[in-house]
Amino acid sequence: MGKKLSRIIKWVFGLLLISLFAFLLLNEFNVTTLTTLTKELISNPGLLFAMVIGYTCSFLLRGLCWRLLVDRTISMRVYLAGIFYSLFFNHLLPFKGGEAVRMGVLAHKQKGQWTTSIQSVVILRAIDLFWLGIFAMIGAELFGITVSTTFLLGMITLCLVSVLILILYVRKKANAGFLYKQFAMMKKLVNSPYMVLIFLISCLSWIAEGIVVYSVAGFNHHFAYLDAMWVTALSVGSGVFQLAPGGFATYESVMSFSLHQVGIGWEEAFSIALVTHAFKYAYSFVAGLVAFYLYPLRFQELRSFMKKKGETS
């Protein structure tokens, strides 16, 4: 029931964001604005290089987080390959199958230890969402967007109660071997001596990713880096409502809205969102090639990882 409800919520919000994208496309899209912005970006190779370096650093830092959490004896190539495979498939498929591939890469390296790979990715994604939420709330406060304290406390309470119920259930069901094994591994990973460092590095990774929209939006506007962090947090967070490859349409809608909130007109905001997302699409396809170079896998193996999506989502 819970899984069905989450899918309904995802589709409702996803379709609403796609509807907003269609509205912006019909009413705010301007070819001249888009081509001018694209030419300005291409004519500034130094800035384009900074975008590539900053975006790459964000993934290197996430790979380091993963390595610190799981096993430092495993080469960084494996962790980075898993993240790049995930990025590639998330931009290729309408669902987030990339996460299952990311888990599969580590499980493949560890000779089938899926428990570790599943729980490590779940923990790291939770940390990512934590920082995205922090940046989103800070930005909302600075821009005068009211965030209900009651709502936030309610969500935190709901999460804590859910975790408590899960703990009690696992302890009561002595024969629930699989679930208990998953919980035990998660507890072990969460108690990592590097957890504080992992949180800090994860924060830095999102700060590094902010350079992409900062570079594109900063051409003709007064655009602070904190603005870029807020826009990035909301845009990436919209991925939970992804209905198209790479979150196409949902990403543009949320980014256009957030850019408009910091004082950029809808027409320019929409063009900035399109250019920013186009850059990330192009990067993801190159990342797929890099992933195959770092840790080559057969198509059959990658496909088998994605078949486990239903088990890991």
Query: Containing H/E element for 210?
Result: none
Task: Name the DSSP class of 111.
Answer: T
**Number of domains observed in the structure of the chain:** 1
**How far is Cα of residue 287 from the mean position of the Cα atoms in its chain?**
15
| pLDDT band at residue 171 under the 50/70/90 scheme | low
* pLDDT per position as a tens digit, 10-69: 888 889 999 999 999 999 999 999 999 999 999 999 999 999 999 999 999 999 999 999
Question: For residue 208, is pLDDT > 70?
Answer: yes
Residue 146 has what pLDDT?
59
Q: Which of 79-88, 89-98, 247-256 has the lowest mean pLDDT?
A: 89-98
**Cα separation values, 295 from 52, 79, 82, 222, Å:** 21, 9, 8, 42
List pLDDT tens digits, range 218-236. 877 888 999 999 999 999 9
Does position 132 have pLDDT exceeding 70, yes or no? yes
Specify the amino acid at residue 157.
T
Look at residue 51 and give its three-state secondary structure: helix
Structural domain of residue 29, as residue ranges? 2-312
64-78, 140-154, 177-191, 205-219: range with lowest mean pLDDT = 140-154
- List alpha helices for 176-265, DSSP H: 177-190, 195-209, 211-217, 225-237, 250-261
